Amino acid sequence: MLESTPRSMVKEGYYFGIPPLLMGGVAYLLQWNVAAVVLALLALFVFSFFRDPEREIPAEPGAVVSPGDGRVVVVTEEENAGRPGKRVSIFLAVWNVHVNRSPAAGTITKMDYRRGKFLAAMRERASVENEQNVFTLSTEAGEIVFKQIAGLIARRVVSWKKAGEKVARGERIGLVRFGSRVDLWVPKEAEILVKVGENVKGGSSVLARWPAKPTAGKLGEASAAEADANLTATGKRS
């Protein structure tokens, strides 16, 4: 499933990229060639940082996709609010896409902004001590948690969503500026499909599999339909 709204760069890219580009043009007119080249390269870097490519969103039931682009740096068992589960942490380098996406379809039941430090995002303590947005997402399978975490260079976590909103799997939910980290927590029943060192893409790489359990009502409907099909097939119902 491909997300519908086409984009190439988030609007913040224009705010941060156009000023050095204009300054580079002025420097070029004044024949300050070195300054012009440096400013032009800076503008190109900023435009690249804020790029927002389309992604192929997996449609398979139970797929939990990556909240961001980068390298898996932690896969560990971890409790969340007293519930046993597993955490996957992903480090986003400055050259990675920094638009973050929802790992699953559901409703954002809670979103907490937590002030904190700006430790290097590669460090384990960053998951707890750094500035971050913490999303609690209610899905058909149950509740999962994911975080946008600021890093040493990234000084701003930006969310485009708020509590109470419904999101689709792989939908854009925000970004972290200039190097960062994203964490995903899933209950122990989920099957983790990645390992440390793997490179993943936000919205398209499947980190875990956690299918929804059929409810009693759905099981009853399925059993009745199956029984009816069997009766018809054996000629006992016309």
Residues with catalytic annotation? 180
* All residues at 6 or more sequence positions from 170 whose CB lies less than 8 Å from its CB, including other chains: 1, 3, 55, 57, 58, 65, 101, 102, 202, 203, 204
Q: Which amino acid is at 57?
A: I
Give the three-class secondary structure for 19.
Answer: helix
Residue 145 structure tokens: 């948690």
CA distance 12 to 94: 15
Q: Are 192 and 207 in contact (CB under 8 A)?
A: yes
Residue 89 structure tokens: 């942490």
Of 212, 217, 82, 214, nearest to 142 (Cα)?
A: 212
